[in-house]
Amino acid sequence: MNHLTVGFDVDDVLLPSADHTIRWYNRYHGTQLTRDNWYVNLPISVWKASTEHEIVERVNGILNSDDFLSEITPIEGALQVLDELDAAGDEHFAVTSRPPLLAAMTHRALELCYPGKFPEGVVTFIDHSTASGRINTMTKVEIAVAKHATHFVDDFEHHLRPMGEAGITPLLFGKGYRWNSDAKTPGLARVSDMEELKEFLQYERTK
Ligand SMILES: [Mg+2]
């Protein structure tokens, strides 16, 4: 495959959102949450919140804060993967379920971690997490097809499930992510970390 076009999810693929958001949440609210609480709002008592909606609002507030940017670091090895894609003349883009209200802060975080790699237009926001987003029917696979992706990297199995049928190689990212530890989709390749992803893409380039 001479030319790769690789799509990346943002949260917990390009940005360490689970660990970083939980760290700030614990500081703000005196909780003792861990990465295993990420995406698990119940019981709401451990979040010291009154409603699930309040948890979502607080999390979006953290993601939209300067605090979040202050200690943000890239996912280990991801910059090298992107550099190698650039060096090989390949292409990349990002798609996130983050709502558009987080677009400006997301761009700032990506710029801090990956300078020059994700300019405006390279990241698509499809919003599955707010009330308005629930009526948004755009899916990641539709974006990936429109971008002529050859590969898509995500930490959620359900975004990847339709990719294979669309001719896009789905890559399930991350180890120690409770939310994808029992993935069973046939044909789904797992890449535990960016080193594995780099090696996988190197191999794909030679095919
Ligand atoms: Mg993600």
pLDDT at 207: 84
pLDDT tens for 9-43 read 999 999 999 999 999 999 999 999 999 999 898 99
Predicted local distance difference test score (pLDDT) of residue 135: 43
Report CA(11)–ligand 1 centroid distance (Å): 4
Distance CA 128, CA 38 (A): 16
% the chain with pLDDT above 90: 76
Contact of 114 with 104, CB cutoff 8 Å: no
| 46-86: pLDDT as tens digits | 999 999 999 989 998 998 899 999 889 999 999 999 999 99
Q: Output the CA 134–ligand 1 centroid distance in Å.
A: 17
Q: What is the pTM of this model?
A: 0.92
Task: State how far the Cα of 124 lies from the Cα of 118, in Å rounded to an integer.
Answer: 11
- Alpha carbons 96 and 106: distance in angstroms, whole number: 10
Question: What pLDDT sits at residue 89?
Answer: 96
Q: How far is the CA of 171 from the centre of ligand 1 (A)?
A: 12
pLDDT of 23 reads 95
- Return the domain boundaries, the chain: 5-16+73-206, 18-70
Question: CB-based burial of residue 12 (10 Å sphere; 0-12 exposed, 13-18 middle, 19+ buried)?
Answer: buried
What's the mean per-residue pLDDT of the chain? 91
- Contact present, 82 and 198 (Cβ < 8 Å): no
The predicted structure's pLDDT at residue 93:
97
Q: Who's near 83: CB < 8 A, 6+ residues apart? A: none
Cα–ligand 1 centroid distance for 153 (angstroms): 9
Query: Per the structure block, which two tokens stand in for 157?
Result: 């199995």
Ligand 1 geometric centre to CA of 9 (Å):
5
The CA distance from 111 to 3, in Å, is 25
* Concatenated DSSP letters of 81-111: HHHHHHHTT-EEEEEE-S-GGGHHHHHHHHH
CA gap 4, 18 in Å, rounded: 28
Rounded distance from Cα 132 to ligand 1 centre (Å): 20
Say how many C-beta atoms besides its own lie within 10 A of residue 96's C-beta. 27
Instruction: Check pLDDT > 60 for residue 133.
Output: no
Residue 150 structure tokens: 């050859």
pLDDT at 54: 95
- Interval 118-129: pLDDT, tens: 998 899 888 655
Give me the pLDDT at residue 187, please: 81
* Domain range 5-16+73-206, CATH class: alpha beta
